[in-house]
């Protein structure tokens, strides 16, 4: 405990790190303020009553958790950063099949800037589509038979203004995320999602407390649930940080076929190379059908289809799990390309003992990556769909969503990534970080 407190004190001794943390905190405060500013034309009192009467165990309830209550508040930041995530998914999928995007990805910094620009345009289009869906949903929401959007306000003007405000809010949040990444600490987009989830923590704890205090659940059962959640968190950390190291031999001097003064290095391959991105990507995909279905509130057929995409349905869990497994492999292939690793090793005169350079090395690395990614993808899928089964057992939706599934993985993943960035600043200036001392010595060496 003393070591942790000392590390926190060291953080504020470094001027650059202190400024980055303060800057990040101020940006996140702006994000939270925007989550409580209601859209023009919406009756805030009627909205609060309508929200109290609707079920939280829906996909819209999950979406609201990602944006920190902004969707429930019909706030200017109601769409959050999710349109940007959706646009990023589309562009990355196109990069795997469309030659133009493949060419851009290989053009270095210029290609990356072009892809970023296209992603921003795509974000605007997705935000407009989702803003339209939100407008339709707000007009059809009622509290005690009274619409939350007064009849005199309803019309084309309300649609246009809502779409413009929501789209502008998403663009502004996207810009704020980029500012955090460049001038703050951590990944800005991930931190915005992270702070939105954390903001729901008091509500989740309060819901569980009310269950226990009312006698609806035994305190023993509550302790068992919390213990299970702690075990899941430990598993998440293990799966996030677990690695498999592949030895690579680099020759200092070669005479004939003999190696003199060889140096052995290792390629670290994480069990979960993709991190939390498959979860975020898959969740964005699952939001799309519900967004489209909001355009048809009076259709019984569409309402029947929407029932399959309820957050607590088994069909939703099955589809969500499959998409997570797919995106785990997809994002791992983007982040860690065995062919590029083999080519780099060959150019630098390195090889894996017992494996020929070139294609054989690429196939060997790809085989290991496939094997260690499979259990990682299944673990991600299992933890992500766990809240569905917890709710079937009587756990409140807010508690199940927060302490299991998507939110848990994002909190752990983003928290560890941000902590590693803070630690790198500490180590650069010869301060002890948050991890074990022996491990830090090894990294310094």
> Which pLDDT band, with edges at 50, 70 and 90, does 332 fall under?
confident
* Residues 153 and 28 reside in one and the same domain: yes
- Let me know how long the chain is: 445
pLDDT tens string 97-109: 788 888 887 787 8
User: pLDDT at residue 252 above 60?
Assistant: no
CA dihedral angle for residue 132, residue 282, residue 92, residue 267, rounded to 10 degrees: 160
Cα(20)–Cα(31) distance, rounded to whole angstroms?
17
> Which pLDDT band, with edges at 50, 70 and 90, does 388 fall under?
confident
User: pLDDT at residue 261 above 60?
Assistant: no
Beta bridge partners of 244: 269
* Residues 96 and 29 reside in one and the same domain: yes
* Residues 183 and 56 reside in one and the same domain: yes
> Which pLDDT band, with edges at 50, 70 and 90, does 445 fall under?
very low
Decide which of 89 and 69 is more confident: 89
Cα(190)–Cα(181) distance, rounded to whole angstroms?
10
Structure tokens at 15: 């001027």
User: pLDDT at residue 256 above 50?
Assistant: no
Q: Is residue 352 part of a domain?
A: yes
* Residues 87 and 113 reside in one and the same domain: yes
Tell the burial category of 16 from Cβ atoms under 10 Å away from its Cβ (0-12, 13-18, 19+): exposed
Query: Which of these three, 177, 199, 221, is where a domain ends?
Result: 199
Residue with tokens 């497994």: 325
User: pLDDT at residue 438 above 90?
Assistant: no
Q: What is the DSSP string of 195-263?
A: HHHHTTHHHHHHHHHHHHHTTSS-HHHHHHHHHHHHHHHHHHHHHHH-EEEEEEEE-SEEETTEEES-E
Pick from 380, 186, 379, 179: which is nearest to 281 by CA?
Answer: 380
Lowest mean pLDDT among 130-139, 356-365, 371-380, 403-412: 403-412
Query: Which of these three, 369, 389, 404, is where a domain ends?
Result: 404
pLDDT tens string 73-90: 778 888 888 888 888 888
- Residue 267 main-chain phi, psi, to 5 deg: -100, 110
Q: Is residue 84 part of a domain?
A: yes
Pick from 71, 93, 305: which is nearest to 166 by CA?
Answer: 71
* Residues 242 and 348 reside in one and the same domain: yes
Q: Is residue 420 part of a domain?
A: no
Q: Is residue 426 part of a domain?
A: no
Which distant-in-sequence residues (6+ apart) come within 8 Å of 236 by Cβ? 383, 408, 409, 412, 413
> Which pLDDT band, with edges at 50, 70 and 90, does 442 fall under?
very low
* Residues 163 and 184 reside in one and the same domain: yes
The reported pLDDT for the residue numbered 262 is: 58
Q: Is residue 444 part of a domain?
A: no
CATH classification of the domain holding 316: 1.10.3370.10
The reported pLDDT for the residue numbered 358 is: 82
| Maximum mean pLDDT: which of 11-15, 200-204, 299-303, 315-319 | 315-319
The reported pLDDT for the residue numbered 25 is: 92
The reported pLDDT for the residue numbered 420 is: 81
Cα(430)–Cα(407) distance, rounded to whole angstroms?
34
What percentage of the chain reaches a pLDDT higher than 70? 76
User: pLDDT at residue 152 above 60?
Assistant: yes
Q: Is residue 295 part of a domain?
A: yes
Domains identified in the chain, total number: 2
The reported pLDDT for the residue numbered 203 is: 75
Q: Is residue 28 part of a domain?
A: yes
Beta bridge partners of 247: 266
* Residues 206 and 183 reside in one and the same domain: no
The reported pLDDT for the residue numbered 441 is: 39
The reported pLDDT for the residue numbered 331 is: 81
The reported pLDDT for the residue numbered 2 is: 56
Q: CB–CB of 148/138 below 8 Å?
A: yes
The reported pLDDT for the residue numbered 419 is: 83
* Residues 288 and 193 reside in one and the same domain: no
The reported pLDDT for the residue numbered 168 is: 93
The reported pLDDT for the residue numbered 29 is: 93
Query: Which of these three, 176, 199, 222, is where a domain ends?
Result: 199
User: pLDDT at residue 164 above 90?
Assistant: yes
* Residues 210 and 300 reside in one and the same domain: yes
> Which pLDDT band, with edges at 50, 70 and 90, does 259 fall under?
very low
Pick from 128, 126, 133: which is nearest to 60 by CA?
Answer: 133
User: pLDDT at residue 320 above 60?
Assistant: yes
* Residues 262 and 120 reside in one and the same domain: no
The mean pLDDT of 10-31, rounded to a whole number, is 86
Compute the mean pLDDT over every residue in the chain, rounded to the nearest whole number: 77
Which distant-in-sequence residues (6+ apart) come within 8 Å of 176 by Cβ? 27, 30, 31, 188, 192
Tell the burial category of 93 from Cβ atoms under 10 Å away from its Cβ (0-12, 13-18, 19+): middle
pLDDT tens string 108-119: 788 888 988 999
Structure tokens at 370: 């496939």
* Residues 239 and 314 reside in one and the same domain: yes
* Residues 178 and 224 reside in one and the same domain: no
Lowest mean pLDDT among 59-63, 113-117, 438-442: 438-442
Q: Is residue 159 part of a domain?
A: yes
Structural domain for 356, as ranges: 202-404
């Amino acid at each position: 405990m003393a070591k942790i407190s000392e590390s926190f004190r060291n953080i504020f001794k470094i001027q650059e790190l202190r400024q980055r943390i303060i800057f990040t905190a101020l940006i996140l405060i702006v994000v939270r303020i925007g989550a409580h500013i209601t859209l023009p034309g919406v009756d805030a009192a009627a909205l609060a009553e309508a929200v109290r009467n609707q079920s939280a165990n829906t996909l819209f309830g999950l979406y609201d958790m990602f944006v920190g209550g902004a969707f429930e508040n019909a706030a200017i930041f109601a769409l959050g950063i999710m349109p940007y995530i959706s646009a990023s998914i589309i562009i990355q999928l196109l990069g795997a099949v469309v030659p133009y995007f493949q060419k851009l990805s290989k053009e270095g910094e210029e290609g990356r800037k072009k892809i970023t620009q296209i992603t921003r345009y795509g974000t605007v289009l997705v935000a407009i589509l989702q803003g339209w869906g939100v407008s339709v949903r707000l007009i059809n929401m009622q509290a005690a038979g009274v619409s939350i959007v007064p009849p005199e306000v309803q019309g084309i003007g309300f649609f246009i203004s809502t779409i413009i405000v929501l789209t502008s809010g998403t663009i502004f949040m996207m810009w704020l995320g980029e500012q955090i990444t460049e001038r703050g600490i951590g990944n800005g987009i991930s931190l915005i999602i992270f702070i939105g989830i954390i903001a729901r923590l008091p509500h989740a704890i309060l819901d569980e407390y009310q269950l226990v205090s009312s006698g609806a659940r035994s305190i023993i059962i509550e302790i068992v649930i919390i213990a299970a959640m702690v075990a899941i968190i430990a598993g998440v950390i293990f799966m996030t940080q677990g690695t498999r190291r592949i030895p690579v031999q680099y020759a200092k001097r070669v005479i004939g076929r003999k190696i003199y003064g060889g140096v052995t290095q290792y390629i670290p391959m994480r069990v979960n190379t993709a991190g939390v991105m498959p979860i975020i990507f898959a969740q964005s995909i699952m939001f799309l059908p519900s967004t489209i279905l909001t355009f048809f509130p009076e259709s019984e057929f569409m309402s029947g289809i929407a029932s399959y995409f309820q957050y607590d349905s088994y069909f939703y869990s099955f589809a969500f799990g499959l998409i997570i497994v797919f995106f785990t492999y997809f994002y791992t292939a983007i982040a860690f390309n065995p062919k590029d690793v083999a080519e780099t090793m060959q150019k630098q005169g390195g090889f894996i003992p017992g494996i020929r350079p070139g294609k054989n090395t690429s196939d060997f690395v790809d085989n290991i990556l496939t094997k260690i990614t499979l259990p990682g993808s299944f673990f991600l899928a299992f933890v992500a769909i766990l809240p569905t089964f917890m709710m079937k057992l009587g756990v409140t939706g807010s508690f199940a969503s927060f302490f299991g599934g998507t939110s848990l993985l994002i909190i752990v993943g983003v928290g560890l990534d941000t902590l590693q960035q803070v630690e790198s600043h500490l180590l650069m200036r010869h301060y002890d970080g948050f991890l074990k001392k022996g491990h830090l010595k090894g990294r310094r060496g």
